[in-house]
Structure 1
């Protein structure tokens, strides 16, 4: 089957259902009658499953796929609208950002990505604390991860664990820790920041204008939010 935009959605659905049941990829593969490598490729987004394989995987977990039709990315727009109606402090508490940041004192870092956009008032989805860390601090970062029972994302397996803990390549690296999930971008020098305050704590964040230029995911979300704002103003108070 040709890879489509549904691929990442299906891989996420399978992975989340498996995690909720505490199953390993090998256990799910055996229950569904497929190979472990097939489950790994599907969850990693390298392969879009056939309908038969997808149904077998979901049926093994006592769930089934439902099909619906909606305008493109309507779910994302709805989520942005929902987040816009909620106080920033509430979202900070929900994500546990302060709890995690209070423990990140072993090495210098700054907040970037969607997390920085959130702290500057943008109602964008945030799944993990996003930070920038210098390469020269990678050893200190790794020691902190070890103490925090960290596991690095394994793209081949589609789950955390099974790879070296220390960052070795350019780009963003996700880790799970006992305090929450972290996505760290390794860099030569930390980017310039501004300070923002919410209910007491002060956060060092990369400015929104810089995020739009340097962070593709956060930049796309920020532009989408701004476009929705403009569309809402053009429609008027009665939505027309």
Structure 2
């Protein structure tokens, strides 16, 4: 994920505490002595707050942080178990997938990565729509990004923006758009796909066996899912 897990957790905590007190972001910012934009960035998980800012936000809501530890990547196992307990239709609805796909019509693409795995029934976490896209379609993709308020992930700053949109430019192939985040695998030719159907809609996806060979992140999560099945069945 672009933002660190800790940034995401802290953002979730701040947002939940604020909502429980029926405060707006502007109201919390005013009490804590920070800007509303700072609260928005923290709650969005795009940037981890400094310790001083975190303490001011929590103190403004009359709470404090308790720190604990757990086995590395235990959160992934928890997310996989949670997804496995949900119907596949619910998993797909949670992605807001169709809204984004309906707007990606300016160039050919196929679904790959964790998104493709989830559509084939594997309960793996998905943090962005993952597509395979040909290099020859990079320019229409850039135009689409420009039309839809695209911002590219900036690894140096740890947030979106401040770098060139074009896929040809160095950097991670991850963009934020008005309809959601898109991660692209750039290739010379689109990979072979299979068709899957959900809710009266068809999707062209890279098969699981190919994902396990060509998509390291999806392969790792699929391995974790298989390991979870063994643990839960034993």
TM-score, normalising length from structure 2?
Answer: 0.77
Q: Which residue of 2 aligns with 1:135?
A: 135
> How far off is 1:44 after superposition?
7.7
- Cα distance, 1:58–1:104 mapped onto 2, change above 3 Å: same
State the SS of the aligned residue for 1:136. helix
Q: Which residue of 2 aligns with 1:39?
A: none
Conserved in 2, the CA contact under 8 Å of 1:154 and 1:162?
Answer: yes
> How far off is 1:209 after superposition?
0.8
State the SS of the aligned residue for 1:57. helix
Could you tell me which runs of 5 or more consecutive residues in structure 2 were left unpaired when the two chains were aligned. 19-23, 27-32, 35-45
Q: Distance in 2 between matches of 1:208 and 1:57?
A: 44
Q: Which residue of 1 aligns with 2:101?
A: 101
Deviations 1:50-102 (A, max 9, x none): xxx94223124336542123344332212111100111111212211011111
Residues 1:178 and 2:174 are matched in the alignment: no
Q: Give RMSD over aligned pairs.
A: 3.0
Q: Distance in 2 between matches of 1:17 and 1:230?
A: 32
TM-score, normalising length from structure 1?
Answer: 0.75
Q: Which residue of 1 aligns with 2:88?
A: 88
Residues 1:206 and 2:202 are matched in the alignment: no
Conserved in 1, the CA contact under 8 Å of 2:195 and 2:205?
Answer: yes
- Cα distance, 1:109–1:22 mapped onto 2, change above 3 Å: farther
Conserved in 1, the CA contact under 8 Å of 2:155 and 2:172?
Answer: no
> How far off is 1:221 after superposition?
0.4
Conserved in 2, the CA contact under 8 Å of 1:172 and 1:185?
Answer: no
Q: Distance in 2 between matches of 1:8 and 1:75?
A: 13
State the SS of the aligned residue for 2:173. strand
Match of 2:54 among 53, 58, 61: 58
State the SS of the aligned residue for 1:115. helix
Q: Distance in 2 between matches of 1:217 and 1:93?
A: 22
Conserved in 2, the CA contact under 8 Å of 1:151 and 1:177?
Answer: yes
- Cα distance, 1:16–1:157 mapped onto 2, change above 3 Å: farther
Conserved in 1, the CA contact under 8 Å of 2:135 and 2:186?
Answer: yes
Could you tell me which runs of 5 or more consecutive residues in structure 1 were left unpaired when the two chains were aligned. 1-6, 24-29, 32-42, 46-52, 236-240
Deviations 1:100-141 (A, max 9, x none): 111111001010110000000000001110011111000000
Q: Distance in 1 between matches of 2:14 and 2:181?
A: 18
> How far off is 1:8 after superposition?
3.7
> How far off is 1:224 after superposition?
0.5
State the SS of the aligned residue for 1:203. strand
Q: Distance in 2 between matches of 1:98 and 1:73?
A: 29
